[in-house]
Amino acid sequence: GAVVSQHPSRVICKSGTSVKIECRSLDFQATTMFWYRQFPKQSLMLMATSNEGSKATYEQGVEKDKFLINHASLTLSTLTVTSAHPEDSSFYICSANGQDLSYEQYFGPGTRLTVT
Amino acid sequence: DAKTTQPPSMDCAEGRAANLPCNHSTISGNEYVYWYRQIHSQGPQYIIHGLKNNETNEMASLIITEDRKSSTLILPHATLRDTAVYYCIVRGPNAGNNRKLIWGLGTSLAVNP
């Protein structure tokens, strides 16, 4: 149990376009989902926390208008990188927790975004 | 949440025990010690967590000192597939569902044949 999936696993897009990344909890209800970004040889940096049905809470320095997060259901959250630029190229990871799992976080496999 | 200090890298021979240390001298009484690992280009994987007693599961053992200021993750028989970055994280209890995980740089463990 406690499986989190992400789609796509890899994406290459052109500068100026938008990219949507999906995060799904496959076998539990995710009341909260977390979005992280990880640059090469660096640690995970929390971008935002989203609760189902409410607006996401962004960490300091993360532009909410650039990184749109939607958590419309208990099993799906999406992160849209708008007007992507090469410096947005990174490894994006989501995690989810839920009441049934005593609120422990379970992680998706990550999405590698490359902006050309 | 308390900070943690880990060595940046370690080596271990395949089949031997890997002992990964973590210092968390400012840990509070209700904070847990969590260990995750991240294999290259994958999402983090939960390993184990504990409060003050030693813990063991199918993946590893966690030894927490009596004063709780440090801990050691033990992989009893390391394999090549255990090569990963290991993160030690201290966090409060899951009172509510918005507990953040603060990630350091972890320890890069290389298991050698």
**Mean pLDDT, all residues of chain A:** 92
Of A43, A97, A110, the CB nearest to B42: A110
Length of chain A: 116
| More confident position, A20 or A2 | A20
Check residue B101 and report its DSSP letter: -
CB A96 within 8 A of CB A22: no
Q: Which tokens go with B51? A: 């409060």
CA-based nearest residue in chain B for residue A97: B97
Between chains, do A106 and B46 touch, taking CB under 8 Å as contact? yes
φ, ψ of residue B63 in degrees (nearest 5): -110, 120
Q: Which tokens go with B112? A: 């050698």
Of B43, B46, B97, the CB nearest to A108: B43
Between chains, do A103 and B43 touch, taking CB under 8 Å as contact? no
Give whole-number Cα distances, A64 to A31, A32, A50, A79, in Å: 20, 17, 12, 11
**pLDDT given at position B97:** 45
pLDDT above 90: percentage of residues in chain A: 75
pLDDT above 70: percentage of residues in chain A: 95
Minimum distance, in Å, between the CA of residue B10 and any CA atom of chain A: 16
Q: Which tokens go with B87? A: 């993160």
Residue B48 has pLDDT above 50, yes or no: yes
Residue A29 has pLDDT above 60, yes or no: yes
- Radius of gyration over every alpha carbon of chain A, rounded to an integer in angstroms: 13
Residue B95 has pLDDT above 90, yes or no: no
Chain centroid, CA B43 distance in Å: 15
Beta-carbon contacts below 8 Å between A and B: 54
Q: What is the mean pLDDT of residues B83-106?
A: 81
When pLDDT is cut at 50, 70 and 90, the band that residue A55 belongs to is: confident
- Sort A35 into a burial class: Cβ within 10 Å, 0-12 / 13-18 / 19+: buried
Which range (A56-60, A87-91, B13-17, B60-64) has the least confidence?
A56-60
pLDDT above 70: percentage of residues in chain B: 93
CA A65 – CA A67 distance, rounded (Å): 6
